Amino acid sequence: MLAVRTEGLRKVFEQRRGRERSSHVAVAGIDLQIEQGEAVAFIGPNGAGKSTTIKMLTGILHPSSGSAEVLGLVPWQQRQRLALQIGTVFGQRSQLWFHLPAGDTLRLLGAIYELPTDVARWRSEELAERFALRELLTVPVRKLSLGQRMRFEIAASLLHQPQVLFLDEPTVGLDVIAKAEVREVIREANQGGATVFLTSHDAGDIESIARRAIVIDHGAIVFDGKVSSLRRQWLTDKVVELRSEEEVTPPEMPGVVVEKASRYGLRLRFSAQDLPVRQVVADLLERYPVYDITISDPPLESVIAAIYQREATRP
């Protein structure tokens, strides 16, 4: 059984302002197949349809047309049954009780998921231990830092050992350390067998958690493949770093951009579509007494920036 399967899943928001009616296509018919145990990142600029898709897959929104199954269930028709088997974190919305200790929310969630009392207690303690939250179980949520709160959100979503985790921007607003902690926690859940479906703008999240990336733009899937091949395919750019045995002067080569130059080192960038890698490297080897050279794909960050820019430059 697939964890997630959709066919032509589509969502149109109808809006009425006075007598004017307008409609906005948020998700324009997408087909998805996600195996159990996969870790998938859903990438796209704001308004591309990421959250809308997640909300349809969790049964919060009804689609305008198309079909979807999550763990064999139709989310919007079998919402409560599905909810027993999935975990959700919406980075922008908390399910913790703000004025109460997080431990109280976990206990209530134990009842919500119909866990026997001792199992719920045991799971809460285990999760608190694993996420280094044990001492914070009795502290009112309003007194926790954002990172601590987000770890509790994720702990709360894991309480009932869900088979699929839907995470909508789980690291939004966190500092570097908190981000690393949250990623670690998600990775562990994935290693424990849970399918992870994650949206994020953060290249670090995507690289450290997901193996597969799906890029969505204007409600349609424009890329579906490995995170590593996203880097290769989306930007055909290559980055060359070289160290020379003698002092270098930056080269003037058509189509090659000097990103950084130091006394003995250079970082260059070019499009592999326009210039064959072999030609650029041969040229460089000829110009400089090369001591070391590496050729790599551009960092994921610039890939994401390129995806978002594509959005901005479209009419």
* Binding of residue 139 to other proteins (CB under 8 A): no
* Binding of residue 21 to other proteins (CB under 8 A): no
Q: Pick left, alpha or beta for residue 171 (phi over 0 → left; psi -120 to 50 → alpha; otherwise beta).
A: alpha
Residues 261-290 that bind other proteins (CB under 8 A): none
Which x/- pattern over 156-175 shows residues binding other proteins (rule: CB under 8 A)? --------------------
Q: What is the secondary structure of 67-117 as a DSSP string?
A: EEEETTB-TTTSHHHHHTTEEEEETTB--S-TTSBHHHHHHHHHHHTT--H
Q: Is 276 helix (H, G, I), strand (E, B) or coil?
A: coil
Residues 26-65 that bind other proteins (CB under 8 A): 26, 51-52, 55, 58-62
Closer Cβ to other proteins, 56 or 284, answer by number: 56
Q: Which of 37, 74, 104, 243 binds other proteins (CB under 8 A)?
A: 104
* Binding of residue 108 to other proteins (CB under 8 A): yes
Tokens matching residue 114: 């119909």
Closer Cβ to other proteins, 195 or 244, answer by number: 195
CA 203/CA 299 separation, integer angstroms: 9
Which letter does DSSP use for residue 134 in this model? Answer: G
Strand order through the sheet with 20-34: 20-34, 4-17, 65-70
Q: Tell me the window of 106-114, 201-209, 249-257, 279-287 that interacts with other proteins (CB under 8 A).
A: 106-114
- Residue located via tokens 């007598």: 19
Binding site for other proteins (CB under 8 A): 13, 15-16, 26, 51-52, 55, 58-62, 79-81, 83-84, 86, 88, 90, 93-95, 97-100, 104, 107-108, 111-116, 140
